[in-house]
Amino acid sequence: MKAKQTGRTAILIACLLWVLYGCSDKMERYEDPPWLKGTNIENLEKEGRYSIFLQLMERAGYRNTVEKQLTTLFVPDDEAFQLYFQKRGISSIDDLTEDQALELFTLHFLSNPVNANHLVYEKAWSLLESATGEYGALFFRKQTRSISAPYKEIPKYDETYKGKELFIYTNVKYIPLFSIHYFHDYNGNGAEDYPFMYPDSKWGGLINWHNAMIIPPAGNEHTTNIEDLANPTSSGFIYYIDQVVDSMPSIEQYLIGHQDQYGLFYDLMQRFATYTTAGTDLQGRQLYSKGYSDISNIAAERGPNWSSTQTPAYMLDIFTVFLPDNDLLQTYLNNTVLKTYSSLDEVPDVTIRYILQTQITNRLELKSKFTKQYFNYYGDKSVIDISDVDAGYMCSNGVIYKSKRIMEPNVFISVPGPLFINKNYSVFLTMLSNANMIPTLSGEKEVTLFAPNNVQIEAANIRLFLNSSGNLEFQEKADDGQWLVMPEVDLVSYAQDHIYYGNITDLSGEGYLEMASHNYVHYSGQVLTGGLNNYKGVTASVTDGQQRINGMLYFVDNPIQTEYRMGQYIMSDPDLSEFAKLMVEVNMLDTAFIETDTKNQYPNIKITEASNAYYWTAFIPDNAAMAKAKTDGIIPSDADSLLRFVDYHFVQKVICDDGVLSGTFNTLLDGAFLNITNTPNNLRITDASGQEVLLDHANANHLVRRGVVHKITSVLKSK
């Protein structure tokens, strides 16, 4: 049963408010109720068992603050401090520097008076949570004033700061407060989960302040009411705890301090490290804030919600790292990526990112939950056997469990998996990653992927290049021979030209595939041909294939190339020149279009460039058909009628003579239709006049970007 605010607490709050606001020159404040027993400091001095804590308060320079303000203290007794001294190898508080004393004391201090109920149920987003609130007890991280001293670091991989000594500033610490109500609301089990996160601590059953159990007051040792844990005073609250809350490293700081065990994991992380200026210290030294890009930012004291502008968000989540030691991780790398790559420096970031990120989640993972069902960062479902992990170590921004196995992501056993560990396909892998296609290729839906290798991609005038800023970028060679940055939309389309949604296990027949780019590719006997492949006379032949858990991966000897435009094909055939002239006349065809990025020039049909206009079939009459139509007076002379005549030859659908699509189809001319009767290699077009035009298979199926062109021997009549 969850605690409720008691009448005694309400009286206390009223008294505390009176202390702050009820005094004036003309009115003395009321005396404190006798059960308040003096201030925080007076209570500790009376007890006689907390002298070392008071010494720590003095050393940290906080006595005046505690005397003059309403505060909350978490207080270990002298015996607990003696055990702490033994652990640290010191004899007294005097052995701590002022900065160390400040960092330590502020882990036991809150700058406002907080009763036990409000420790558990925080006020967040202007609302006081409760047992029935939306978030309940889930705001479990409490902001302190404790800050680690800046530390030195020499970046190893960052192009701007590599080799320079930087002073790294860290933010304030957030202490986790674990309550019985938190575990209830998070669907955990405090008796099982807390000792696994804190193997050197005791779970008291009600509230633990980080590693320390809050001790019920004498005479009430068996209380089940969290309100009974608070010791109210006239200047706030005291909570007595069973041990000292030692300095709390972040996960980042923990890894820095344990290079002998986890240096390899940390080294891989540094490939994603970022550094930004963060002011200067009292000595005038430039300080820097460290973070991580494209991977969980384990350097952020605020935790997974570090980028949020709303403070309550920081209180909800911490990281979890299933951390492999050097030997385990090295063995895994030797058996995977280092079989084809000569060093880790050659391995693409996307591979390293998946290896690392699969060991990290942006939420707290509890033993009682992950041993039943677990979803990693990428949403892969699994179960972690308890024999796979050792008990944890709680840092200021997350928990570390030592992992006894590498938790591979599903993507490594899905369709693109082999590309992650084969150096010959690193460029294509990076392209898929930059185009954000990896989630699609590793999801539950079946897919087929056609993968060209690095050499083949560069031979097709696309390369992955390290620019002057130290960043990798995709470039394409323009017609004038210059290498230019590849626009994102073109990069995505190029990658999607190699992806088919569905599992194709047999390519021995013949047909057409609509790729993820919405471009069509012809296949016949393990050979694939896009529009540009056909124009260049270079096909993409399958050299090998693998059935994966969610589809097929085929290796091809050339990239699939579809970037051959409809206007280019029409203008390339002299026998279509008469209809092309009409297209120019009605302003549908620009014969000298100049591309903005590459400055390449090509004929362009404007209607095919609309962002949502993926599918086009053009029935283009040859010159003989145009000459006959002109003789018969079918070709109109006025501009409006001429545009209608041209529009009637375009259908916004991809129709090949493969026998797949038959029926009545809208043309570009509004309200006008064509009837298609389609059998393999035999397509008949019936226009509005009743005329039937037979498509010659030899002149059919000229694949182009976003469509297909058929050459026909008669003009089509819309009336």
**Domain-wise residue ranges, the chain:** 1-86+97-112+212-244, 415-556, 566-712
Distance from the first to the final alpha carbon of the chain = 81
Residue 324 has pLDDT above 70, yes or no: yes
CA-CA-CA-CA dihedral for 232, 237, 240, 243, to nearest 10? 180
Bridge partner residues of 552 (DSSP): 448, 547
φ/ψ of 547, rounded to 5, equals: -80, 125
pLDDT > 90: percent of the chain = 85
Q: Report the pLDDT averaged over residues 265-294.
A: 95
Q: How many DSSP H helices and E strands does the chain contain?
A: 24, 40
Structure tokens, 238: 């005291």
3-state secondary structure at position 688: coil
Question: DSSP characters for 462-502?
Answer: EEEEE-TTS-EEEEEE-TTS-EEEPPHHHHHHHHHTTEESS
Q: Assign 470 a pLDDT band (cuts: 50, 70, 90).
A: confident
Per-residue pLDDT tens for 526-573?
Answer: 999 999 999 999 999 999 999 999 999 999 999 999 999 999 999 999
* Cβ–Cβ < 8 Å for 385, 371: yes
**Higher per-residue pLDDT: 36 or 297:** 297
603 contacts 565 by C-beta, under 8 angstroms? yes
**What is the sign of the dihedral through the CA atoms of 267, 272, 277 and 279?**
negative
Residue 75 forms beta bridges with which residues? Answer: 240
| Position 219 confidence tier, pLDDT thresholds 50, 70, 90 | confident
Q: Please, which pLDDT band fits residue 256 given cuts at 50, 70 and 90?
A: very high
| Average pLDDT of every residue of the chain | 92
Split at pLDDT 50, 70, 90, the class of 35 is low
Return the closest-CA partner of residue 512 out of 494, 493, 537, 534.
534
Whether 10 shows a pLDDT value over 70: the answer reads no
Query: Would you call 519 helix, strand, or coil by DSSP?
Result: coil
- Contact (CB, 8 A) for 390 and 194: no
Q: What is the assigned CATH class of domain 1-86+97-112+212-244?
A: mainly beta
365 or 613: which leads in pLDDT? 365
pLDDT reported for residue 177: 97
The answer, yes or no, to whether residue 20 has pLDDT greater than 50, is no
Note whether 623 and 576 are within 8 A (CB). Answer: yes
Express each pLDDT in 124-163 by its tens digit. 888 889 988 899 999 999 999 999 999 999 999 998 999 9
Q: What pLDDT is attached to residue 271?
A: 97
> What is the side-by-side order of every strand in the sheet holding 109-110?
109-110, 71-76, 236-241, 231-233
CA within 13 Å, CB half, 455: 3
How many residues can be counted in the chain?
A: 719
Q: Taking 50 as the threshold, does the pLDDT of residue 420 lie above it?
A: yes
Give the CATH H-level superfamily of domain 415-556.
Answer: FAS1 domain (2.30.180.10)
d(CA 445, CA 453): 25
Domain 566-712, classified CATH 1.20.200.10, yes or no: no
Confidence of residue 466 (pLDDT cuts 50, 70, 90): confident
Read off the tokens for 670: 């509004």
Q: If pLDDT is split at 50, 70 and 90, which confidence band does 622 have?
A: very high
pLDDT for residue 32: 63
Query: For 176-187, what is the mean pLDDT?
Result: 97
At residue 522, the 3 state secondary structure works out as strand
The token pair at 490 is 């073109």
Q: How far apart are CA 135 and CA 313, in angstroms?
A: 11
Query: CA separation (Å) from 548 to 341, 413, 430, 557, 559?
Result: 23, 7, 20, 20, 21
Q: Residue 335: CA atoms inside 13 Å, Cβ hemisphere, count? A: 8
pLDDT confidence of residue 29: 46
Question: Residue 472 has what pLDDT?
Answer: 86
What pLDDT does residue 428 have?
Answer: 97
Q: Which of 419, 420, 430 is nearest to 555 (CA)?
A: 419
* pLDDT exceeds cutoff 90 at 599: no
- Quick check: 169 pLDDT over 50? yes
pLDDT digits (tens, 9 = 90+) for 504-518: 999 999 999 999 999
Q: Is the pLDDT of residue 7 over 50?
A: no
Distance CA 500, CA 401 (A): 40
Has residue 618 got a pLDDT over 90? yes
Which amino acid is it at 50? Y
Q: Which long-range contacts (CB under 8 A, 24 or more apart) does 253-256 make?
A: 253/148, 253/151, 253/170, 253/395, 254/393, 254/395, 254/400, 255/298, 256/151, 256/153
pTM confidence score: 0.87
pLDDT tens, 564-597? 999 999 999 999 999 999 999 999 999 999 888 7
DSSP assignments along 108-172, one per residue? GEESS---HHHHHS-EETTEE--TTSSSTT---EEE-S--PPPEEE--SS-TTTTT--EEEE---
More confident of the two residues 28 and 269? 269
Q: Which of 32-41, 52-61, 240-249, 354-363 has the weakest average pLDDT?
A: 32-41
Helix (H, G, I), strand (E, B) or coil at 338: helix
Q: Which pLDDT belongs to residue 5?
A: 41
